[in-house]
Amino acid sequence: MYSTHIQAITQFTPADAQVAASLMQNISEFDKPVSAEAMLERIGAAPALLLLCYVEDELAGFKLGYEKSPGEFYSWLGGVLPDFRKLGLAQSMLLTQEQWAGEQGYSLLKVKTRHSFPAMLSMLVQNRYQIAAIQSEGVSLAEQKISLQKALV
């Protein structure tokens, strides 16, 4: 069995944004990777959490979220490098994010995915996220955005 650990970063810096942006370049599901600058601009001064997941001290994945509004945390970006999939890393990061958000007083966690990512959709539903909306206008079924949310209290 591999040794894994998750590093939680709550002071999101330009260097952290660069690490996440670099990881995105190696995750094929990100057809349009977000630049470090765009991450920093979108998050601004909002409280944020970046989780970096390591396997045998090698960076394997990340999960980035931020406060959308008081009481609401948005899980924005995340992924696991192909060589490290099927190890439960995404599930571990999801649970770590939920626990942290709850400890910070957030009552609602929101996330978006697409039909084209069935593994993520399945993981979210299995973890009691509920579908809140589907954005379907002008896009194929695979590209429809599915908004999900979970009450943390």
Q: Could you give the CA distance from residue 92 to residue 94 in angstroms, rounded to a whole number? A: 5
pTM: predicted TM-score of the whole model, two decimal places:
0.94
Instruction: Give 35's contacts (C-beta < 8 A, 6+ positions apart).
Output: 21
Do β-strands 108-114 and 72-80 pair in parallel, antiparallel, or remain unpaired?
A: parallel
> What's the pLDDT at 142?
84
Q: What is the pLDDT of residues 92-136, one digit of tens each?
A: 999 999 999 999 999 999 999 998 999 999 999 999 999 999 998
Question: Within 10 Å of residue 90's Cβ, how many Cβ atoms?
Answer: 20
> What's the pLDDT at 3?
87
> What's the pLDDT at 31?
85
Tokens representing 119 are 């593994």
Block means of pLDDT (10 residues each) for the chain, 153 residues, are 89 95 93 93 97 95 97 97 94 97 98 93 97 92 93 91
List beta partners, residue 149: 110, 130
> What's the pLDDT at 1?
67
> What's the pLDDT at 105?
97
> What's the pLDDT at 147?
97
